[in-house]
């Protein structure tokens, strides 16, 4: 556990051991649940969740003059927000809260990282990156440098082309980043870290003062349903593969793998899929059935293979992206549109 000062705790409250923190400050959770004077902080916690749910980043009103009184309140409101979320059990709010809190922490991390003259602060940000996300960051002139392997492990889930290694400044096994980019690299993981901390927290006992805000959270969560709309249209990569086979041209092994796994995932049977390969120049019914059964996991090791990602298909020259692909990362998502806040 990283040792934190008061203001650092306010910036990164998810690093705190909540039980210990309350104890150190001379409070118990029960007090927050019953003491009317502390209701203000429970309200603050509710608003912190509400802001997150609406996609806003909670603003800390850290006033330099009243720092000593303000800072613990910042931490309390975070800890209580977690308590309320646990009591409500609303996953959609937990997700939104984790994301917003990570965006909030990201801003502080970036600021701390770029203030390299204040040696101490840079150290904390660098320590967070190293301890939480195993990224070793060093400063080189105006850049933050990390190893190519660390960079790849953390950037691999980004789909914007600017994050591809080829679009980065790379030299001698190092990637050169700005403070913003360095922190951006762990955004998702920061969110997952906060999320897992909340998931792993014990569900506290319900107290009177918590009942009303928890109820409000439950109705708040109902504002954010997720609706999935599906279309029956095939994605362009699958269409292309089918066309190639229909023309009797050769579809490479990787293309057959994609087509087989895609259609199996869409619920088609091995017997329904096999005839598609009939026109292939090297068609052999027995082999085709064997291979499809293997993909379906009904023979061999029992492993059920899944359709390769768009990225993998791109590298195999099997991707024929169209605007309708709309940022999906696997052909299976094609035509499924998530409408959030509908």
Question: Binding to other proteins by residue 171, rule CB under 8 A?
Answer: yes
Asked if residues 203 and 76 have their Cβ atoms less than 8 Å apart, the reply is no
In whole angstroms, how close is the CB of 149 to other proteins at the nearest point?
A: 5
Question: Binding to other proteins by residue 281, rule CB under 8 A?
Answer: yes
Q: Which residue from 172, 203, 228, 342 is in contact with other proteins, where contact means CB under 8 A?
A: 172
Question: Binding to other proteins by residue 301, rule CB under 8 A?
Answer: yes
Binding flags for other proteins, 220-259, as an x/- string (CB under 8 A): ----------------------------x-----x-----
DSSP 25-62: TT--HHHHHH-GGGHHHHHHHHHHHHHHHTTPPPPP--
Question: Binding to other proteins by residue 315, rule CB under 8 A?
Answer: yes
Q: Which helix (H) or strand (E) holds 233?
A: none
Question: Binding to other proteins by residue 165, rule CB under 8 A?
Answer: yes
Question: Binding to other proteins by residue 173, rule CB under 8 A?
Answer: yes
Q: Which is nearer to other proteins, 218 or 311 (CB)?
A: 311
Considering all CA atoms of the chain, what is the largest pairwise distance in Å, rounded to the nearest integer?
A: 80
In whole angstroms, how close is the CB of 135 to other proteins at the nearest point?
A: 13
In whole angstroms, how close is the CB of 46 to other proteins at the nearest point?
A: 40
Q: Helix 91-114 to helix 67-88 angle, to the nearest 10 degrees?
A: 150
The b-or-e profile of 6-24 (16+ CB within 10 A means b, else e) is ebbbbbbbbbbebeebbee
3-class DSSP state for residue 12?
coil
3-class DSSP state for residue 239?
helix
In whole angstroms, how close is the CB of 193 to other proteins at the nearest point?
A: 20
CA-based nearest residue to 67, from 153, 9, 106, 21: 9
In whole angstroms, how close is the CB of 231 to other proteins at the nearest point?
A: 28
Binding flags for other proteins, 111-150, as an x/- string (CB under 8 A): ------------------------------------xxx-
Residue-level length of the chain: 342
Give residues in contact with other proteins (CB under 8 A): 147-149, 152-153, 156, 161-162, 164-174, 248, 254, 281-282, 301, 303, 309, 311-312, 315-316
């Amino acid at each position: 556990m990283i040792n934190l000062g008061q203001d650092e705790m306010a910036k990164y409250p998810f690093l705190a051991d909540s039980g210990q923190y309350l104890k150190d400050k001379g409070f118990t959770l029960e007090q927050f649940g019953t003491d009317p004077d502390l209701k203000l902080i429970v309200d603050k916690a509710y608003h912190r969740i509400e802001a997150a749910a609406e996609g806003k980043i909670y603003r800390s009103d850290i006033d330099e003059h009243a720092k000593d009184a303000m800072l613990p309140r910042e931490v309390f409101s975070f800890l209580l927000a977690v308590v309320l979320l646990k009591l409500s059990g609303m996953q959609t709010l937990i997700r939104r809260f984790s994301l917003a809190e990570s965006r909030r922490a990201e801003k502080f991390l970036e600021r701390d990282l770029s203030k390299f003259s204040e040696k101490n602060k840079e150290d904390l940000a660098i320590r967070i990156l190293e301890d939480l996300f195993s990224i070793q960051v060093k400063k080189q002139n105006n850049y933050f440098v990390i190893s190519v392997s660390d960079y790849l492990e953390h950037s691999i889930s980004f789909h914007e082309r600017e994050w591809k290694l080829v679009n980065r400044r790379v030299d001698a096994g190092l990637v050169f980043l700005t403070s913003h980019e360095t922190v951006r690299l762990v955004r998702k993981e920061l969110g997952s870290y906060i999320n897992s901390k909340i998931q792993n927290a014990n569900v506290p006992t319900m107290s009177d003062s918590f009942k009303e805000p928890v109820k409000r959270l439950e109705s708040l969560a109902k504002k954010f349903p997720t609706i999935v709309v599906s279309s029956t249209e095939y994605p362009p990569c699958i269409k292309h593969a089918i066309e190639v086979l229909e023309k009797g041209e050769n579809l490479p092994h990787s293309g057959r793998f994609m087509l087989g796994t895609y259609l199996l995932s869409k619920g088609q049977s091995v017997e329904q899929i096999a005839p598609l390969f009939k026109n292939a120049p090297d068609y052999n019914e027995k082999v085709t059935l064997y291979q499809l059964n293997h993909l379906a996991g009904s023979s061999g090791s029992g492993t059920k293979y899944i359709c390769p990602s768009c990225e993998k298909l791109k590298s195999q020259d099997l991707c024929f992206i169209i605007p309708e692909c709309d940022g999906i990362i696997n052909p299976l998502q094609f035509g499924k549109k998530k409408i959030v806040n509908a």
